[in-house]
C-alpha cells in the first residue's frame, strides 16, 4: 500500500503531507517497508507482465 492515498485518523490530513507526529511516523514506517517492487504502480506491473508473456510467446514460436 502506498501512503499517498492514506488519510490520518489523528488529523484527517493525507499521510504524505506529514502534518502531525502520527502522519510522520506512518510515512516513515511505510517508506521503510517499500520492497523491491513496492514503488511500482499496479498498472506498470500488469504492463510488465504482458510484455514478459509476449516475449515468452515470441521466443517459443521461434524455437518451434
CA angle in degrees (0–180, nearest 5) for 41-44-50: 145
In the structure grid, which three cell numbers stand for residue 28, read together? 516513515
14 close to 7: Cβ distance less than 8 angstroms: yes
pLDDT in tens, 3-46: 567 888 889 888 888 889 988 888 888 777 766 666 677 888 89
pLDDT at 17: 85
Q: Which is more confident, 56 or 28?
A: 56
**Residue 63 CB neighbour total at 10 angstroms:** 6
Q: Evaluate if pTM is beyond 0.85.
A: no
Between CA 40 and CA 63 the distance in angstroms is: 33
Between CA 34 and CA 50 the distance in angstroms is: 24
Amino acid at each position: 500500500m502506498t501512503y499517498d492515498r492514506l488519510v490520518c485518523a489523528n488529523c484527517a490530513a493525507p499521510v504524505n503531507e506529514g502534518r502531525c507526529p502520527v502522519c510522520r511516523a506512518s510515512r516513515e514506517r511505510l517508506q521503510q517497508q517499500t520492497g523491491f517492487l513496492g514503488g511500482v504502480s499496479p498498472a506498470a506491473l500488469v504492463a510488465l507482465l504482458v510484455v514478459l508473456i509476449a516475449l515468452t510467446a515470441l521466443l517459443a514460436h521461434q524455437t518451434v
